Amino acid sequence: MDLGETVIVAGIGFRKRISAFQIESAIVAALHSALLTDAQLARIATPAGKATERAIRDVAAARGLPVICITQCALEAASPRTLTRSARSLAAMNVHSVAECAALAAAGPNSRLLGPRIAVGPVTCALAQGEITA
């Protein structure tokens, strides 16, 4: 990717012990909702504490995409820009929506959500559009 290039990032929130199929289903649903193709997705982002989970690594590998690990500080900085408010996310991670915050943080400071997060079972996925700046 080149500097100034637009990217689409899928932010993923999930509980432990979920399957790659569940994460993939949430990504597919979010892309479909936003009228985007698989080829338009450039990155997958999740909180740093979940980035080593096998399911998210398997999905990223199958799609040939990097997993971006988002720090707690970056999640919290993105929280005011979310569209969704989740009591569960607030209690667990002190942010309005884990998926939305992860997507926004990974897509850059001027990113925007393409819509509210999509929930598919125990997985949430939000898509953000941003620009590569570094």
pLDDT digits (tens, 9 = 90+) for 23-68: 999 999 999 999 999 999 999 999 999 988 999 999 999 999 999 9
pLDDT tens digits, 69-125: 999 999 999 999 999 998 888 888 889 999 999 999 999 999 999 999 999 999 999
How many domains is the chain partitioned into structurally?
1
Determine, yes or no, domain membership for 1: no
Does 93 map to a domain?
yes
Q: What is the CATH number of the domain that holds 30?
A: 3.30.420.180
Q: Say if residue 132's pLDDT is above 80.
A: no
pTM: 0.93
Which residue range(s) make up the domain with 119? 6-131
Whether pLDDT at 1 is above 90? no
- Per the domain annotation, does 25 fall within a domain? yes
SS (H, E, C) the chain: CCCCCEEEEEEEEECCCCCHHHHHHHHHHHHHHCCCCHHHEEEEEEEHHHCCCHHHHHHHHHHCCCEEEECHHHHHHHHHHCCCCCHHHHHHHCCCCHHHHHHHHHHCCCCEECCCCEEECCEEEEEEEEECCC
